[in-house]
Structure 1
Amino acid sequence: MLNISAEHKKEHLYLEVYHYYRKLILEGRLLPGSKMPSLRKCAQELKLSRTTIENAYLLLAADGYIIARAQSGYYVTGIASKQHLLTPEKQDKDITPCLYDFASSGVDRESFRFDLWQRYIKSALRQGDRMLSYGEPQGESDFREVLADYIRERRNVICSPDDIVVGAGLQPLLQILCPLIHERKTVSFPTPAFTACSTIFQDYGFDVHYRDKSCDVIYVSPAHMTKWGEIMPVKRRLELIRHAEIDDHLIIEDDFENEFVYFQKPTPSLFGLAGGENVVYIGSFSRLLLPSIRVSFMVLPRSLREKYTKKAAFYNQTASKAEQIALCQFIRDGHLASQTRKLRRLYSQKLKALSQAVRETFGQDCQIQTGAAGTSLALTLPCSLTGSELTDRARNRGLGLEVLRENGAEVTLVLSCSSIPSKDFLPACQLLKEVTGS
């Protein structure tokens, strides 16, 4: 039975419950298909509130360990049993627990209010008549109206709700966009790191290039030019817009992590600067809410919106209707704005704490690069290992790493602060020092 110590009672208790049941599931002590204790029973046995247990169960469900069945409760999935089908070597390799994930694109666990989001989801599901039908192919109309107001206020993106197309993430939106611009043949990306996007374009017959101004389509992420948060200056944005106008190029503006600008005022969006011409604007909520809430959107310029309107009825909506309804009211009630302010403060503090932990661990033997935005820093340090050798060694020690560059004498890593608690930065950096041999 879980024992909540006095020390842990000061922390978020639902995480203690989450880790307790996760361990039981992974160790096979809770078998696939078995029913979890009811919320009331579990709360009584652990002497915790029902809300605490419910938040822990919601997190277990979000990570795929359990599943909710209507009017029945929660049941263990088969996620753990699948590991027993692996060969011994692969099993040992795959189940090494990740203690510190510097490569994570997730969010800080304690930053998201599961209980609040659950209330909005429940409210959406209570709209019975509305939930009985398929969603609007373009996205729920009231949600698009709220989005139009939101991005006008936040990013100076002036558009009509009819210009907005909702989808379950970046790739489904690009799969809609590519046929609309099929007459264009080439696309340029800032770096080869945009594989999730470039793969879609290649599937639709585009030739993919990098940093090539002559391409028909220019894909940029102005608030995330580098992994460590460098921002495209306004002067460069205006030059890019002018170039696109002269040569009739299309700009795709992926406004990823624009919310996390710390040391300067947010720069205007390309869409806003261009007046909505020659620019497709793409936004998402994965960094503000949870990556598992798959709701993104794109704003089409007038010429492409007319093309889309002719085909819209043939597309199915990929984003959850319930999540669109919930997020619509969530934004209206001011919670997304509040969450943005909260995360901006949190990640700014965490980046400073991570930089300090790196300096304390590696001293003058390292070089740290940070930008004005984002949740990551770049760390260059001496290391003779190849990138694959380093990531394999790190994985076997419970460390998640992303290698940006390596040349046999030193390596540049991207360290994300988002999913590691601040109190763990120093031990995580000490483990990194052991792994790299620095």
Structure 2
Amino acid sequence: MKRILMVLAFVAAFTAANAQSVKSISAATSALEKAKAETENPKKSDKFATWIKYGQALMNAETAPAGNGWIGASQQELQLVLNGEKTRASETVVLGGQQYQKDVYDTRNYYYVGQGPTAQLMMIEITRPILENALPMAAEAYAKAASLDAKGSKNKEIKTALETINGKLVEKAYTAYTLGKMAKASELFEAAATAAAYAPLCVLDTNSIYNAGFTAWAAGNNDRAKTLFSKCLDAGYYSTDGEVFAKLADIANKEGNEAKGAEYLEEGFKKFPQSQSILVGLINYYLTSNGSTDRLFELLDMAKKNEPTNASLYYVEGNICEKLGMTDKAIAAYNKCSEIDPNYAFGYIGEGILWYNLALKYQEEAQNEMDFKKYDVLEAKFVESLKNCIAPFEKALGMVSDKSTKVGIAEYLKNACFRFREEPGYADKYATYKAIVDGK
């Protein structure tokens, strides 16, 4: 899922680096019942210690069904701490394109990536909780304790507990998301943000608010998503490449308010002119509303006046022109990138992709052309365009350092050079670029 994206490694930061012994189900249940009873006792309910104890009991009730496993542990490590506990079943499942080994226990499922003893535990799904909403209730209990602690003597302890609860809720939310339970993930992300907001922690967890909105949007709950994305906007949090604007625009369009959607996109474009989702949204809006993209170029000109040495703005202009079929203007904009910043590779990448896409277009048209003369013209344009993509891609390949970007460029070059492998020099180039793609 694009844009949730926010740091699966973040989950591990809130998980113990070493095995932690947890209470048994019966012990955790008994302790919870006792702690809850104390909160209902008039002689104890006004004491912060009572609510801290209840909060801890709720946290223990959450962790007990999860067993002694921890995210990042290997199967070999877990064999030492699971005390001989046997799985009820084991199977291979694919979630979000990733293959997992799923081990089923009485109260939980463990999801591993990898094979054998070194396979790593990536997710814990609790299937038989002691209490369904233990973590949000624990956060409320600690917040209650803080409100009763007039001197703030336990602020440090309560802050730590709220941070831990926030992290555990984020972990559960990512698990729900990976399992395809978008509505549940949204609830958990929002609960994580709520836990962080309680005093004395008082943190605005915009990342969790955004993810709550994103998963609500993915679940088709647009009203809820709109509320959460609006909170992000009010807090000045826009997510990667201004996705908050793009999502609010999408929701407005689904509500039939295209003008409001365009407002969101224009506002987002001013802050994130490189955003492809905002850019595509604006192009689609102006083409379908009045057939003119003049406003789009006006916005881009405003951005260029504010940042005349920003090469990426000309890259955006090239992308706009390319999508509108203005090939010559697109190439001129891509070339302008290197004039402004000789170390900016994306102008070359943009030009390479333009020529490559043109080649595919001519190839498809040639395949569907029955007239031999017209076929020959289209075939010649295909060859010319495919050869034209090689030089800019090669320049870009020598400039970028990011591995995935290098592989992406090399994939284009490999495909282009394969077509001309019978011509001098191209077979060697094909072999070079294939090796990069293959990771050799």
Higher relative contact order (CA 8 A, sep 6+): 1
TM-score, normalization by structure 2: 0.28
**Structure with the higher fraction of residues in strand conformation:** 1
Q: Bigger radius of gyration, 1 or 2?
A: 2
TM-score, normalised by the number of residues in structure 1: 0.28
Of Structure 1 and Structure 2, the greater helix share is in 2
